[in-house]
Homo-oligomer: A and B are copies of this chain.
Amino acid sequence: MALNRSTIVETAIELIEREGADAVSMRRIAADLGVGVMTLYNHVPNKAALLEGVAETVLSKIEFRDDPDAPWPDRVRMQAHAFRQIASHYPRSTMVVVSRQLNSTAGLLPVERALATLRSAGFDGPDSVRMLRIFIAYIVGSLLREVGVTPTFAPAHGSAVRPQEVDRALFPQVGELASLLNVCDHEEEFAFGVELLIQAIAVHPRRKPV
């Protein structure tokens, strides 16, 4: 395998998915590639740039299948789910994606498509940006919860609300709903929120007629 930037980035992604972001080190990646540590620096300026490459690459794997002629709610739905799909495919890498702001072209394509969709929904420029930001915030927050559940993929992830341990006097609601709080069908919850948001922006008044 030829040693270049993309093979290094790909190896980093595999390592992240296998052992978590904490396991990433230049020495480790070099070892996985069977090369010396400093060899990496012939292709990547530093570790931060490598992680940026990871973010870019993961982002670029999003497959948008929504066709521009479909109704805008369908397009928004498909774009949101396309985003989440790669996140669940690269859960550990998603953490490093959302943990750094991205301004590369890989991050620009989703923005472009979303803005076009929102404008086709009848929003003017400023409102399209506003709506986009709301969607991004919701999606990023959802993914953060979803993949944050597996920080090190601890076998017995004790990060649950033990019903018998919460003080029912102080936290009656939490106590009563503990069983609901402990389980989460991420796919379904995400879809529920997306539909709610679509409904919300559908009824939002347009500044100008289409």
Contact = CB atoms under 8 A, between A and B. Distances in A.
Given A101-B151, A129-B180, A177-B115, A137 B138 contact: yes
Given A148-B100, A180-B126, A174 B108 contact: yes
A25 interface: no
B145 A136 contact: yes
Interface in A104-146: 108-109, 111-112, 115-116, 119, 125-126, 128-130, 133-134, 136-142, 144-145
Interface stretch (A9-17, A34-42, A54-62, A196-204): A196-204
Nearest to A170: B112
Given A101-B149, A103-B160, A119-B173, A196 B134 contact: yes
A71 interface: no
A112 B178 CA distance: 11
Contact of A192 (B112, B130, B174, B196): B130
A205 to B, nearest CB: 11
A90 B61 CA distance: 34
| Interface band, chain A | 35 or more
A23 interface: no
Contacts of A142: 137, 141
Contact of A144 (B115, B140, B166, B189): B140
Contacts of A137: 137-138, 141-142, 144-145, 193
B136 A138 contact: no
A147 to B, nearest CB: 10
Contacts of A204: 196
Contacts of A115: 173-174, 177
Given A137-B145, A144-B144, A173 B130 contact: no
A100 to B, nearest CB: 7
Give the 3 A-B CB pairs with smallest separation, nearest first. A137-B141, A141-B141, A200-B200
